[in-house]
Chain A
């Protein structure tokens, strides 16, 4: 079945370590996104990519990095510069056109990162 796969589902990290969260989609979507979810704050956009080899900062990009070398993959690295990395991270994808499905995001199951 088509969908978005995030891994790992749970991850523990020591302070000062970088960690990479995987996001893979087989929906043939052009656009991919990373959101961070904290209790009471909803979802905040970290990075997004509308096409391969291109990505843009979202609202809270500091301390994060991404790459988009393949259409199917959009990994997120949480660096040691991110001051408060403990959160639930959600990857999403969408069709990048003005058609009837515009704006509808398909989400993965999330990755919960805990910094010890």
Chain B
């Protein structure tokens, strides 16, 4: 069965420091991996995705994520955190189409609250 784990409920970081939000996944075959961000009482916004190719993926607002197949991880990173980055971050996964019958249904993790202190 497909699943996504975000082991940290909350990550605290000081403004200007690098940040990492962790995500590990379990899926048969090649995964499509996503990061979304949610601000309070708002919908989710797409940040970045990995489908194939370079393991380091760059996305919106200076975020990037590194796909590591051997560790089945897709951690979200940013070199220098901003207070405005404080939000709830969701990792998500779906199966690649070549395994047949796949839709765009995403399986979401439980979310990690990022708190950036000034």
Which A residues contact B (CB, under 8 angstroms)? 4, 6, 31, 33, 35, 40-45, 48, 50, 58, 88, 90, 92, 94-96, 98, 100, 102-110, 112
Q: How far is the CA of A94 from the CA of B49 in the complex (A)?
A: 14
Given A98-B97, A104-B46, A110-B43, A31 and B108 touching (CB < 8 A)? no
Which B residues contact A (CB, under 8 angstroms)? 9, 32, 34, 36, 41-46, 49, 51, 90, 94, 97, 103-106, 108-111
For A31, list chain B residues within 8 Å (CB). Answer: 103-104
Cβ-defined partner of A112 (8 Å) among B41, B44, B46: B41
Given A33-B105, A42-B90, A103 and B49 touching (CB < 8 A)? yes
Residue pairs across A and B with Cβ atoms less than 8 A apart, 23 shown, are A6-B43, A40-B110, A42-B90, A42-B108, A42-B109, A42-B110, A42-B111, A48-B103, A58-B105, A88-B41, A90-B44, A92-B44, A100-B51, A102-B32, A102-B97, A103-B32, A104-B46, A105-B46, A105-B104, A107-B36, A107-B43, A108-B43, A110-B43
For B108, list chain A residues within 8 Å (CB). Answer: 35, 42-44
